[in-house]
Structure 1
Amino acid sequence: MATTRPPSGGPHDDWLIYRGNGEPHDGISRLPDPPPWRRFDQEGPRMGAVERAVSYRPAPNVVEMVNAAIYLRRPLLVTGKPGTGKSTLAYNVAYELRLGRVLEWPITSRATLEEGLYKYDAIGRLHETSLRQAGAPEAPAQIPDIGRYIRLGPLGTALLPWERPRVLLIDELDKSDIDLPNDLLNVFEEGGFGIPELERLPEDQATVEVMTADGDGRVPVTRGQVRCTAFPIVIITSNGEREFPPAFLRRCIRLAIEAPDPELLAEIVEAHLGDQGREDRDEIIREFLDRRRRRGDLATDQLLNAIYLTTSGARPPSEARRSLLESILAPLNATEPG
């Protein structure tokens, strides 16, 4: 289909990419670069994850509690409202300490301990065995290497005997089934776990190479036992939707992250956006703080989105700018934006 130049809609419409008039055009070519935290065109870790790690600015008490958890080899249970940087803390720790990629375990209501430790694809192994027998029915049965069908989960990978600790993010544990926090206790206390499918193998198969959550290569597991030598830096986040059992809390270092104050907000914006829109963003920060004080929960992400959209080169006219800010800075506890 042939395309045309974006139809002229007057100077106030110059910032629009999508016009909504049904006429095809090449306006997408005018789209400015994405926000640093929404870039997907990089090799290796997504640019957004790296950007978040570099730009994160923890409060002094956050730094202190992270160090306490590292020294004590205990999980850090981080609570706070959405958008306060609970998950980003894990990326910041891994980046600063050069501990490699963060092992992520996003929790849902269906999450189980086994899912975090490992998965054995018994059906896939049986299927390959059948294919081999069908291809060579007269040959002795050849059973595929079991290690190719066992993949350690994020928790299981974190508990491998790495020389340096890995960073494990268990995200939004409060969404889990009621039993999962207690199920984690023994693993955290022992620093390891067993894989029954490997424990039952004969002595001549004592060491098996299995896959990891990293997805790059295989690691040896002997007699089905996985045990860490350096306890991982475990960061568990919660939005406070439910309480955890005392036995679980006793084994964690607890940290409550508060919403950033004006000075810290300014540092966060500076870290993410540099000099971009410096002349306009102080006003948006003041409005953000006023709305947070008067109207309810607001996340730092909302502030960054508002500043980027109004200073990225799009430059919506004042009327559109006001309407956009109303929607973007809507409280998270509101039923409708604006």
Structure 2
Amino acid sequence: DGNILNSFNISFKSFNNKVKESFELIKEILININFHDYERLKEITLSLKNDFKSLLIPKGHLLAMLRSKSKLKLNEYLKELQNGITGREFWQKAKTDTESLKEIANKLDNLKNKIISKNNLSALIMGNTDDILKNLENEFFNLKESLEESNHYNGLLNLDANSKALREIIIIQSKVAFNAICFPSYKINDENYPKANFLEHVLRSGIFWEKIRVMGGAYGASASIANGIFSFASYRDPNFTKTYQAFEKSLEELANNKMTDDEIYTYLIGLIGTNIYVKTKATEALQSYRRKMLNISDSLRQDIRNAYFTITPQDIKEISTKILTQIRQHNSIASLVNNQIYEEEKNNLEKLIGKEYSLKKIY
């Protein structure tokens, strides 16, 4: 599966004549930050508590998808700890009395000392002239030399992400549901990845829109493939078990019926359009940095794009059959749904996924 890159990113931009001052500011933050300003720490903690509490409805589909993915891969498990329902529960329990704030500050100090170090720092820099680039390189070198070395080992990599139930129903106070199903699929360097990526676009912009949004009444539905995981999700969905049936029926329809060349061409235009768009310099820098760290080369990305132009109706039919097999062999489900809908559909749910699932309530 390769190495896990659990990174802490800092991005900033600067005027050409303020490069030195910008790096001095970053240096001051990294080395001399004071976590023991308890009034400020209290404000930040309360802000995080409120931000996570308000995530449930507007971002419920993302929480469900991340929860589902977290049962399949360790890197997704780490994301869920920080940004998912687990992270939300952590901040809901966080206290803001002085002793609790001292404990948070001490943990932040400990974390800073582990990860902010000379041998743990890398950067991607962008400038518009050679002399500016040289200046940026020099300032980055000075910043790096000002940090201490550390031999911190990330023990999180030993955690077992697959020890929890693959099917989870989470009871929430909402009139609508958020449903997600994820399953292992093709990685970016697999020869079938471009076809699976094309299928993702067909599902997301075509068949899911019709079956889940128009016919099902959900506000939204999505399909995505990333890091070797294929994910389906619905957003503000009045349905529960019917949506999981619609996910599978959509694949069955594509596996049993061949699309036309005109349909393939229409989806191709849309897919290329989603891959080619104007980016800010900051976005370009962050994307380039991540690709370099993950060994995603420009030639690989070009090969994938070239493969899109060779995809035929038969390819979509065949890849749909393969994806259908994948979803049936091994999957992880997470739904955020109210108790009334759960009780009404409990029998249908257990016919669909069996009785081995976890049930919890969050508020």
TM-score using structure 1 length: 0.24
Give the helix-richer structure, 1 or 2: 2
* Larger RCO, structures 1/2 (Cα 8 Å, 6+ apart): 2
